[in-house]
């Protein structure tokens, strides 16, 4: 179960936030001025993209990239690592905006999702066509725009860093497809669920940003394997925590309604474990996962099955073991002591976070 009190954000994360956010503001304000001069209607999509990126997010991907770069000998204020951190946030915005469309989510970070915002504007303005399609179409374009800006920031990166960047984008799309397919089929086994965890979120959130940071510092060949030994298990722990928050989290902290992952039918390891252990009556309850009209009492019943079958506790144990495995792997990483301390801090935070 999630912690009743907010988990403190470590200095290793907050130290990265200010320069990355300043760069994001600069890029997006410049683009807004540029395109509003062409047509005033272009202010709306750029405004929502700016709010989405600047007003929320944990900045984990820039942080992991930053500390791999610094650990490999790079300077913390090097413009290249700040540009790359901003690129990761823009790419993350692209992924989240599209994810919200695919999942039909109505809120993100406590605010209406981008497609919901434009759906509502179309409806209230009584424009032609279908409001839902308009909202989703605009959101897809806003997400695409964020991806283009991200790629533009990476255009001057060393070839080794850019190759990793492109690979992580492919992995992200592969994982997302498996996630959408699993939710549609409604059948989930543990091996498939863990594969989705790895490719949809784990590699993209931790392992690949570490690789990009090492590549920017010119030490990818030397550090790729030890950083993977840290990043792979921690990436899995990150997504397992996300799965728990999606089912049991405090909506005031997560910014999403409790049970949204259950309504979307997310094929998580926790669901796979529960299905494997469930009695017939418990399976009847779990069969409701994926129903968009789940009532609060349905969500409570499903939560009880996750608890009673031991699925929740097993996932919590896995998070602890994976986090410990990641921290232990740092003993083999030839990086600076400052970066080692930061990566240990980040590992503890990733495993215990409540947002």
Q: What is the pLDDT of residues 220-240, one digit of tens each?
A: 999 999 999 999 999 999 999
In the 8-state DSSP scheme, what is residue 156?
A: T
pLDDT on residue 56 = 79
316 is a domain residue: yes
Number of folded domains in the chain? Answer: 1
Alpha carbon distance 224, 213 (integer Å): 10
Angle, to 10 degrees, between the axis of helix 220-248 and the axis of helix 311-329? 160
In the 8-state DSSP scheme, what is residue 129?
A: S
pLDDT on residue 3 = 44
pLDDT in tens, 83-98: 999 999 999 999 999 9
pLDDT in tens, 262-274: 998 999 999 999 9
Q: Give Cβ neighbours of residue 137 (< 8 Å, ≥ 6 apart).
A: none
4 is a domain residue: no
Task: Judge if pTM exceeds 0.85.
Answer: yes
134 is a domain residue: yes
Mean pLDDT for 247-252 is: 84
339 is a domain residue: yes
6 is a domain residue: no
Nearest in space to 178 (alpha carbons), one of 288, 260, 267, 292: 267
pLDDT(78) > 90: yes
5 is a domain residue: no
Q: Are 47 and 32 in contact (CB under 8 A)?
A: yes
Alpha carbon distance 205, 91 (integer Å): 11
Instruction: State the pLDDT confidence band at 260, using cuts at 50, 70 and 90.
Output: confident
pLDDT on residue 63 = 98
CATH classification of the domain holding 188: 1.10.600.10
Q: Which domain holds residue 175?
A: 11-352
Alpha carbon distance 178, 181 (integer Å): 5
Alpha carbon distance 67, 313 (integer Å): 32
Instruction: State the pLDDT confidence band at 314, using cuts at 50, 70 and 90.
Output: very high
327 is a domain residue: yes
pLDDT(355) > 70: yes
Q: How far is CA 123 from the centre of its chain?
A: 30
pLDDT on residue 259 = 86
Alpha carbon distance 33, 114 (integer Å): 21
pLDDT in tens, 152-164: 999 999 999 999 9
291 is a domain residue: yes
Share of the chain above pLDDT 90, in %: 86
């Amino acid at each position: 179960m999630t912690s009743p009190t907010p988990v403190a954000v470590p200095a290793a994360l907050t130290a990265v936030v200010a320069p990355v956010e300043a760069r994001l503001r600069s890029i997006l304000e410049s683009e807004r001025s540029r395109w509003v001069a062409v047509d005033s209607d272009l202010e709306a999509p750029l405004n929502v993209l700016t709010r989405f990126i600047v007003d929320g997010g944990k900045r984990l991907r820039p942080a992991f990239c930053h500390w791999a770069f610094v650990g490999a000998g790079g300077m913390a204020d090097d413009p290249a690592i700040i540009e790359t951190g901003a690129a990761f946030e823009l790419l993350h915005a692209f992924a989240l905006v599209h994810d919200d469309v695919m999942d039909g989510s109505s809120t993100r970070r406590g605010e209406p999702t981008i497609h919901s915002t434009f759906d509502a504007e179309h409806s209230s303005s009584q424009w032609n066509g279908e409001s839902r399609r308009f909202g989703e179409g605009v959101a897809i374009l806003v997400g695409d725009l964020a991806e283009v800006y991200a790629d533009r920031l990476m255009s001057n990166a060393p070839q080794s860093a850019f190759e990793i960047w492109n690979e992580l984008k492919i992995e992200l799309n592969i994982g997302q497809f498996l996630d959408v397919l699993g939710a549609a089929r409604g059948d989930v086994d543990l091996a498939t669920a863990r594969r989705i965890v790895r490719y949809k979120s784990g590699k993209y959130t931790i392992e690949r940003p570490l690789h990009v940071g090492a590549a920017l510092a010119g030490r990818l060949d030397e550090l790729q394997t030890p950083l993977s030994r840290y990043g792979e298990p921690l990436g899995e722990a990150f997504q397992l925590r996300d799965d728990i928050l999606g089912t049991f989290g405090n909506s005031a902290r997560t910014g999403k309604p409790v049970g949204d992952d259950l309504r979307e039918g997310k094929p998580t390891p926790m669901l796979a474990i529960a299905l494997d252990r469930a009695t017939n009556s418990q399976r009847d309850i779990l069969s409701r996962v994926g129903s968009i009209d789940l009532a609060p009492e349905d969500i409570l019943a499903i939560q009880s099955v996750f608890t009673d079958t031991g699925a929740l506790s097993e996932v919590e144990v896995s998070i602890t073991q994976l986090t410990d495995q990641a921290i232990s792997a740092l003993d083999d990483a030839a990086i600076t002591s400052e970066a080692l301390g930061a990566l240990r801090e980040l590992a503890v935070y990733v495993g215990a976070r409540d947002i």
